[in-house]
Structure 1
Amino acid sequence: MAIESRLTPLDETRLDAEQRRVLEAILSGPRGNLDGPFLAWIHSPGLADHAQRLGAFCRYGTRLELRLTELAILVTAAWWRSQAEWQIHEPIAREAGIADDVIEALRTGEEPIFERDDERLVYRLGSTLYATRRVDAALYADAVEAFGEPAVVELVGVFGYYALVAMTLNVFAVRRDTEVPLPFAEP
């Protein structure tokens, strides 16, 4: 799959030892590729090393079902209008069980109509956090009651990590599936 960006293209013959170490760690991990923000982060091995480990936890290690993690990622991608983040995670979210109408509502900036209470709660938490930069006591209590305090901590971590991913992808104009129309209008 073609990936484009405004970054200087990587030349494997010019990678330093740290870049090569991080590249090997990423390629041998559960991702197996430099898709998404890793194309940028490999330019800074220290950031790449820490970010890829945090990302692996946020994606594969939390107490949340994959369906809820992927919903949180789509809420983030839609908020940041992150083209590549959406393109990467929309099919994963769909396969994990997020309904087509929820996905389309998120993409178009409408409030989704949820059939599942846990999805509605993830959406409320993320959209409130992004819009107000806070979560009030009632919403916090609802989230803790539904998921447990450790999972709420992890969910906030998912939102934060994928906001970092979205910012990285947006700043460096990372694009994948370049033959497919972008999910969001460019500003």
Structure 2
Amino acid sequence: MAIQSRLGTLTEAQMDDAQRAVLKEILNGPRGNLDGPFLAWIHSPQLASHAQRLGAFCRYSTRLELRLTELAILATAAWWQSQAEWQIHEPIARNAGLCDSVIEALRQQAKPDFAREDESLVYRVGKQLYEHRRVDEVLYAEAVAAFGEPAMVELIGVFGYYALVAMTLNVFAVRRETDQPLPFSEPCTF
């Protein structure tokens, strides 16, 4: 799928050795493409290299079920109104078992009606983290009891990593070319 951004086009012929090396690392990894933030990050190969390894862990290797990881990613995309992050992860979340009504509520930035307590817990942690920049003792204890400390650390890592992704996608106006409408209204320009 074609991707556009406000960055200048960077062809492989224009890349330096470090950029080519990280491009090869990304293309040979679990993603297999230069989608999403990597289109921007490839301009800084050291950032791209570190970020893509962290991202591969956050997306594919945490102790959380993929459904819960994708819920955290969609909650982040909705918070940041990150068009491309939503476009990339909405079908993944659906395929991972997140129900349509939860996905649509997140897109509308409304509180979903969760049928599963683990999903409600992930949502509440993310909401409190984004709104208050902290998680209170009661919610923290509930999340640790449900997921364990290592998974709680990883969940916060997922929220943080995908906030970085959303900021990157928003600043560089990364978009997937699609005939589908954008998931969020574009904010007024500055």
TM-score (norm 2): 0.97
Segments of 5+ residues of structure 1 without an aligned counterpart are none
CA distance in structure 1 between the partners assigned to 2:177 and 2:118 by the alignment? 31
CA distance in structure 2 between the partners assigned to 1:105 and 1:11 by the alignment? 39
Tell me what 2:179 maps to: 179
CA distance in structure 1 between the partners assigned to 2:91 and 2:78 by the alignment? 14
Q: Which segment is superposed worse, 82-91 or 177-186?
A: 177-186
Residue 38 (structure 1) shift:
0.2
CA contact 2:75–2:106 (8 Å) conserved in 1: yes
Count of aligned pairs: 187
Tell me what 2:101 maps to: 101
Segments of 5+ residues of structure 2 without an aligned counterpart are none
Tell me what 1:150 maps to: 150
Residue 149 (structure 1) shift:
0.2
CA contact 2:74–2:89 (8 Å) conserved in 1: yes
Residue 10 (structure 1) shift:
1.1
Residue 179 (structure 1) shift:
2.1
Tell me what 2:66 maps to: 66
SS at match of 1:141: helix
CA distance in structure 1 between the partners assigned to 2:67 and 2:101 by the alignment? 15
Tell me what 1:41 maps to: 41
Residues 11-64 of structure 1: per-residue CA shift (max 9 Å, x gap): 111110000000000000000000000000000001000000000000011000
Q: Which amino acid aligns with 2:31?
A: R
Q: Which amino acid aligns with 2:24?
A: E
Tell me what 1:89 maps to: 89
Q: Which amino acid aligns with 1:131?
A: E
CA distance in structure 2 between the partners assigned to 1:14 and 1:2 by the alignment? 19
SS at match of 2:33: coil
CA contact 2:3–2:176 (8 Å) conserved in 1: yes
Residue 178 (structure 1) shift:
3.2
Q: Which amino acid aligns with 1:165?
A: V
CA contact 1:59–1:69 (8 Å) conserved in 2: yes
SS at match of 1:43: coil
Residues 148-178 of structure 1: per-residue CA shift (max 9 Å, x gap): 0000000000000000000000000000033
CA contact 1:3–1:178 (8 Å) conserved in 2: no
Residue 108 (structure 1) shift:
0.5
Q: Which segment is superposed worse, 175-184 or 83-92?
A: 175-184
Tell me what 2:132 maps to: 132
Q: Which segment is superposed worse, 12-21 or 172-181?
A: 172-181
Tell me what 1:6 maps to: 6
